[in-house]
Amino acid sequence: MPRIEISRRQWLSGTASAAAAFTLVPRHVLGGPGQKAPSNVVTRGTVGTGGMGSGHVQINKPNEPPVQVAVCDVDRSRVAAAAKKAGSGCSAYTDFRQLLDQRDVDTVYIATPPHWHALVSIAAAQAGKDVMCEKPMTKFIREGQAVADACRRYGRAFQIGTYGRYGMGRLRKLVESGRLGSPLTVRAGRAQGYNWNVRWFTGQHHLPPQPVPADLDYNLWLGPAPWKPYNSARVHFMFRCYWDYDGGGLADQGQHHLDPIQYMLGKDDTGPAEVEAVAPWPPHPEACGPWNKVTIRYADRTTILIESGEWGPEPQPAPFLEGPLGRVWRPDWRTDPPGLMDGLDALPDTKPLTPLDVAIRTRQQPGGNADSSHRANTLFLLGNIAIRLGRKIAWDPVKQECPGDEEANRLVDIPMRAPWHL
């Protein structure tokens, strides 16, 4: 449902009555006191209008410049509902490339399944659009670096759709202060209040083929993913259960939980040295399965311990953040020794965070930008590689590869179905 374009010749043919038409131009188009001119409106196009994406569709207000100027989904019924929600001034498409061709789209909100995140983000940056992308950033690690490279190359702002790091300022100052000592251990399991949705996003085996719904362009929904017969369990929310499109509960929650921890630890510019996991063996080749524990270790012996609490031994109560000199518990932020966090607010903020809307106007990079989001994405994607291979994974955070490990590197950089490629 592409929008109707008016040619220059058609527009010129109507200029004879320009003076009369001028009096009919709405006041908001001209700007001025009390009015917002279109040039001051940051417009958006939303790609993927399902559960999360529908929440990113804004309602255009009467007699004001439209904010939601485009929506896109490979499911025609969903994109029609999104266009109806947005109202006047919003175009609807079934191919994201058409949306990116629309010149008045400033920012692209991406809420597709993760196997599409990288390609849409890169194409949006190339088209001169800023990007807000839902989590996880990408399906495999090499994609994340490609997105970060593209945003840097084209000077575009990028924000991942998780904002937990904005509440980590005091704990980041605590880590920087050295009051805890080193090395540090962070626990992000059920005992510390972290839910990993492991059972919810465990996939089904032996999915029988089903007829493709008439409104769905299933080939385009698959895009770079391997071709598999359609089954409703693969698409629309439950895609999270299958390796071809996502990475189970670890990938579903990883960006939410680990991005703030990475920021707190001051690890935005690096990565771990090794990752290992405890999970059933062998894993299913298509369906994501349960797991008990993922351990992430950095070269400086900083460690992140993740316990799902949904398979294997129950996790025991333990501090959220611990060093040789002190400990911090969640959710009450009790400390040992008491008063460990006193006076932190007076310390300077060495890495303040810029929200996406401010970044777009100032051309700064926001908090949770492409580079730091890629580093956080790498943590749980390495965890999934360890789960799938059933062994410890070594990682070089500079070269961003598993040294001498061809089997692991095949999951770091996964081939795409032609004609799609990075």
Average pLDDT of the segment spanning 253-269? 97
CA distance 53 to 46: 7
CA distance 385 to 250: 11
CA distance 226 to 14: 51
Asked whether residue 131 falls in the same domain as residue 192, the answer is no
Asked whether residue 50 falls in the same domain as residue 76, the answer is yes
Average pLDDT, the chain: 91
Q: What is the pLDDT of residue 352?
A: 86
- Domain limit, last residue, from 111, 128, 162: 162
Asked whether residue 97 falls in the same domain as residue 18, the answer is yes
Instruction: Assess whether pLDDT exceeds 90 at residue 36.
Output: no
Q: Is residue 419 part of a domain?
A: no
Instruction: Assess whether pLDDT exceeds 80 at residue 42.
Output: yes
More confident of the two residues 383 and 29: 383
- Domain limit, last residue, from 162, 189, 208: 162
* Local confidence band at 367 (pLDDT 50, 70, 90 cut-offs): confident
Q: Is residue 74 part of a domain?
A: yes
Write the pLDDT tens digit of every residue in 56-107: 999 999 999 999 999 999 999 999 999 999 999 999 999 999 999 999 999 9
Q: What is the pLDDT of residue 39?
A: 63
Asked whether residue 229 falls in the same domain as residue 245, the answer is yes
Asked whether residue 174 falls in the same domain as residue 56, the answer is no
Asked whether residue 143 falls in the same domain as residue 169, the answer is no
Q: Is residue 43 part of a domain?
A: yes
Asked whether residue 185 falls in the same domain as residue 289, the answer is yes
SS3 letters for 82-98?
HHHHHCCCCEEECCHHH
Asked whether residue 175 falls in the same domain as residue 34, the answer is no
- Cα 159 to Cα 147, 357, 394: the distances in Å are 12, 10, 28
Backbone angles phi, psi at 242, to 5 degrees: -130, 135
Average pLDDT of the segment spanning 378-387? 98
Asked whether residue 56 falls in the same domain as residue 27, the answer is yes
* Local confidence band at 40 (pLDDT 50, 70, 90 cut-offs): confident
Distance of alpha carbon 100 from the chain centroid: 19
Q: Is residue 361 part of a domain?
A: yes
Q: Is residue 420 part of a domain?
A: no
Q: What is the pLDDT of residue 38?
A: 59
For 73, the domain range is: 8-162
Alpha helices in 127-168 (DSSP H): 141-154
Q: What is the pLDDT of residue 9?
A: 36
Asked whether residue 125 falls in the same domain as residue 149, the answer is yes
Name the percent of the chain lying above pLDDT 70: 91
Asked whether residue 310 falls in the same domain as residue 373, the answer is yes
Average pLDDT of the segment spanning 44-53? 96
Looking up tokens 């008990």 gives: 292
* Local confidence band at 27 (pLDDT 50, 70, 90 cut-offs): very low
CATH number, residue 279: 3.30.360.10
Q: What is the pLDDT of residue 12?
A: 33
* Local confidence band at 155 (pLDDT 50, 70, 90 cut-offs): very high
CATH number, residue 44: 3.40.50.720
Instruction: Assess whether pLDDT exceeds 90 at residue 415.
Output: yes
Asked whether residue 170 falls in the same domain as residue 154, the answer is no
User: β-strands 274-278, 393-394: how paired?
Assistant: antiparallel
| Total tally of structural domains belonging to the chain | 2
Average pLDDT of the segment spanning 280-285? 96
